[in-house]
Amino acid sequence: MRIVEGLQAGLALLARTPGYDEPELSPTATKRTADLFGEPLTATQAVRRILDDVRLRGDDGVREYARRIDRVELEELEIPRDRWREALASIPVELADALRVAADRVRDYHEKCMPLEWRDDEAGYGQRLVPIERVGLYVPGGIAEYPSTVLMSAIPAKVAGVPEVILCTPSPSPATLAAAEIADVDRLFEIGGAQAIGAMAFGTSTVPKVDKICGPGNIFVSIAKREVYGHVDIDGLYGPTETVVIADDTADASLAAADLLAQAEHDEMASPVLITTSMDMAQRVSAEVDRQLALLDRKAVASAAIEGQGMAVVVSTVEEAIELSDAFAPEHLCLLVERADSYVELVHNAGGIFVGEYSPEVMGDYVAGPSHAMPTAGTSRYASSLGVHHFLKHVPVIRLSTASMGSLGPAAAAIARAEGLTGHARAVEMRLEGAGTAVDKDFFAETPDGQ
């Protein structure tokens, strides 16, 4: 791993502001895109072609791109629930049990995160929490399988009370189908890529139009989510995974290296970053990374990530390390330092914080409880990990009494007239002048539930 010294040197390399910069396509992807569309296109241009076609042709457009891009002939787009149940019965018992353990943890965590409705009758206001009616989830598939992403996305939506959760994933494995059954997904479609995002955003004769789309995906999926925003809501745009490990001289170098490699093996564009207070630790972790690389099945991928984005930065104190991490605003922040818990409150920007050597980020990927869908590319400066809040509308409710109107109305009318909106002002002043009933209705006794 590349090793640099000093906070300023680290800031020069790691400090960033959030933003989604479309990466250039690889030569292979560029050629394939040109072959598919008959001319060279950028990723955005290709996605717009796909979305326009799906919007115009619906299921026929979806099937065409499944055939042309994924080389799959789809007679039926939807996979019936019987197949999910068969898949759950067919996978190894140990895996089914593990998925249920993870599901229970995820469900329990998000149940504890549920906010509460509230009302202040005296002040005359309150807030309702209304679940989004239909949510679409995207889970990558094909040669990969991510049953954990099904659990991490669908369960928070169900806990929030979303009535209908649909899922799109290409060529789902038995484990992915089993996870959909365990997570109580409502409908599942065997569709991938930008065409899946288009189908959920615009609706087809088979795929219902959703109100919000959540989930990670490749560059084409992310661009498609960006393009359909406004037709639907989205949870965010996810880039390659990234982890910052902060380690002092008490850390176990082999564990720090293992945590970095666990992220590096995801993607050649992953960012595994060590920030340490010890040059000796930096050198030992670097040596451990080299040693452990040889043990990985995905050695080539992890090696490319380490070579391309991996680094170790040596700073003076843990506080400086956190300052540097905040400037990077990572998806994952691992604290492998003495008295790790005492530093949590200093962290401002991180998708998730993993405290101590027995809380590795890998546990967050599968069974810790919070969703592993976390903000990347510096967006943890303002965004949060996927949770029940993504699936709830916070709706204010105003219940002003006659007395409240009498005390607040003159201020509202004055501001309205200052803005030149006399209609606004008159709507208040007519009430102040006694228009309507003179009886102060007891609104609070008229709610449907009698409360």
Strand extents, DSSP E, 215-310: 233-234, 242-247, 271-276
State the DSSP H helix or E strand holding residue 252, giving kind and residue range, or none if neither. Answer: none
Task: Answer positive or negative: Cα dihedral of 158, 160, 162, 163.
Answer: positive
Q: How long a stretch of residues is the chain?
A: 451
Helix H, strand E, coil C: the string for 2-50 is EEEECHHHHHHHHCCCCCCCCCCCCHHHHHHHHHHHCCCCCHHHHHHHH
Cβ neighbours of residue 196 closer than 8 Å, sequence gap 6 or more: 62, 138, 168, 169, 170, 189, 221
Bridge partners of 187, per DSSP, are 166
Q: Which of 145, 242, 320, 331 is catalytic?
A: 331
Whether 75 is catalytic: no
Residues 416-425: contacts with CB within 8 Å, 24+ apart? none
Active site residue 24: no
Question: Going by DSSP bridges, is the β-strand pair 118-120/125-131 parallel, antiparallel, or unpaired?
Answer: antiparallel
Q: Which residue's entry shows tokens 């902060």? A: 246
Please provide residue 397's backbone torsions phi and psi, each rounded to the nearest 5 degrees: -125, 125
Out of 110, 231, 266, 332, the active site residue is 332
**SS3 of residue 218 by DSSP:** coil
d(CA 364, CA 198): 30
Amino acid at 440: D
| Residue (of 336, 333, 376) closest to 357 by Cα position | 336
What one-letter code names the amino acid at 297?
D
CA-wise closest residue to 195 among 32, 79, 74: 74
CB 325 within 8 A of CB 353: no
125-131 and 134-138 as β-strands: parallel, antiparallel, unpaired?
unpaired
Catalytic residue numbers read 331-332
